[in-house]
Amino acid sequence: MTKHIFVTGGVVSALGKGLTSASIAMLLESRGLRVQMQKLDPYINVDPGTMSPYQHGEVYVLDDGSETDLDLGHYERFTNAPLSRGSNYTTGQIYLKVIEKERRGEYLGKTVQVVPHVTNEIKNCIRGLGGPDVDVVISELGGTVGDIEGLPFLEAIRQIPLDIGKENCLFIHLTLVPYLKAAREVKTKPTQHSVQQLREIGIQPDILIVRCEKPIGADNLEKIGMFCNVEKRAVIEETDKTLSIYEVPQGLVEHGIDQLIVQKLGLKAGPLAMDDWWNMLNRIRNPEHEVTIAVVGKYIEHKDAYKSIYESLDHAGFSHASRVIVKRIEAEELYEAGPEKLLSGVDGILVPGGFGMRGVEGKIEAIRYARQHDIPFFGICLGMQCAVIEFARNVLGHEEANSTEFVATTNHPVICMLEDQKSVTHKGGTMRLGAQLCHLEAGSEAEKCYGKPVISERHRHRYEFNPEYKQQFVDAGMKISGTSPNGTLAEIVEVSDHPWFLAVQFHPEFKSKPLSPHPLFRGFVEAALNRHLARTHATV
Ligand code: GLN
């Protein structure tokens, strides 16, 4: 029988519930258990695809094309749990299902209510992930206990032990224990209140994970346990990890969380096999080089807007014994100040994906600077489209070249709308989404990086490289090194007489893991490192 773990959060948001859930899943997997993961988001949007990155951070895309919460990125980076549309539910999706059922007449004349109809739908979505080949399902509830929107979800998970037995369920609650400088002590009261709120709903946490800046001491842990009705060994502290998020599992293992979960759920698990991970942590702690990459975007001040890109750069650094220092540059600022001022001295330049016109001219300037100064350049999605526009303007001489996303009437629409997007009217879930095959040109940089002729990558866009311009670009030195299987869509472009200039229409950042960095990020960081080493030797 599949066991269920529920992870809730209290006191404040942004405690790293996603990271903690992913770390727990990884530890269970490394003990030989088969795990499924899921995020339940109480907001009303059907998915985060229609939300601004300022609201929500990055939208994380899965192979099946679902646009999901960025916590699913942590799940994929830490575990091998297969993720799909059923791995992220929002209130919007749940209500949509309930309302569609009501319209089909499936409730047979009943009044449709939050309890039991909405809660039953939530329970179906949770239990639907279980099955004969799944040992544990971990469901993480977004938001904080006490949020109005979260109540139906809490009510649903409260009921699950009644359906499948208390012994098959485990509630983990994550809270904050702040240190008050003025009082010079840590405060456990907010945690007590948060657990009280949970218990009012009828949920008694089995394990408490208390987030804290520094260790809070055995006395405090004991006190929390007593007030919250949780046994002492199940109150676990999780201190801030300043070096790397990949240290989180280690802290949890040191407090015996895997053993605690295995015992409490009566799981049959093998010994912990984490050697590769621990070796990786050693490499992270002892880098031999530092390499600086500029990321030129428009949501730069939001720490999570380019989450997977920053993670992928780190992963590539791990495999080159390097620490990657990211210089975050606001594209509009770069346009104002000029690229020289902000980009001289960096070892590589990356332009990520995005939507809308703001910042585009700054991104194009950054790309011109990278191309003309032989600085390794990596463009992703909108970053590739900007690279095409830059080349059209400054090499082909089409000064007005643009994307029809920004100037619908441009004389040179080198980026234009995908044919099957032209009839689309709704915004939600209608882009070209998810995994697509791509054929690589033999001998190209892309093929060298991947080491194989056909790849699969995830997409999220409406516009494409205009095929009518293909020959002009090829004749002038921009290679199309990756195409869709039928040869129509340009998926990768490269500039040949350059140390490393490659841009992709897809999102490689969604497929990089710390122990298996993405081949293109690895290639890019290697080129940047080579430039760094050549320059530092030159100046010695
Ligand atoms: N706005 C561009 C498009 O829709 C790029 C999208 C992206 O970068 N994800 O094609």
User: What is the per-residue pLDDT for 539?
Assistant: 59
The pTM for the full model equals 0.95
pLDDT above 90 coverage of the chain, percent? 91
Of 378, 405, 457, 464, which is best to mutate to test ligand 1, by the most ligand atoms within 8 angstroms of its C-beta? 405
Catalytic residue among 381, 386, 416, 438: 381
318 CA distance to ligand 1 centroid (A)? 29
Q: Are 41 and 266 in contact (CB under 8 A)?
A: no
Of 461, 489, 491, which is best to mutate to test ligand 1, by the most ligand atoms within 8 angstroms of its C-beta? 461
User: What is the per-residue pLDDT for 85?
Assistant: 93
User: Is 386 assigned a catalytic role?
Assistant: no
463 CA distance to ligand 1 centroid (A)? 6
**DSSP classification of residue 506:** S
Catalytic residue among 311, 445, 509, 526: 509
CB atoms within 10 A of CB 525: 31
What is the residue whose two structure tokens read 């929500």?
A: 56
The string of pLDDT tens digits covering residues 200-251 is 999 999 999 999 999 999 999 999 999 999 999 999 999 998 899 999 999 9
Can you tell me which atom of ligand 1 is nearest the CA of 354? 8
CA-proximal residue: ligand 1, atom 3 (nearest): 461
User: What is the per-residue pLDDT for 538?
Assistant: 64
Instruction: Name the burial class of residue 256, with classes exposed (0-12), middle (13-18) and buried (19+) by CB atoms within 10 angstroms of its CB.
Output: middle
Catalytic residue among 74, 507, 518, 532: 507
What average pLDDT score do residues 379-400 get? 98
Ligand 1 within 6 A of CB of 432:
no
User: Is 381 assigned a catalytic role?
Assistant: yes
CA angle 447, 450, 454 (to 5 degrees): 70
The string of pLDDT tens digits covering residues 292-344 is 999 999 988 888 899 999 999 999 999 999 999 999 999 999 999 999 999 99
Q: Are 351 and 309 in contact (CB under 8 A)?
A: no
481: phi then psi, degrees, rounded to nearest 5: -100, -5
Ligand 1 within 6 A of CB of 460:
yes
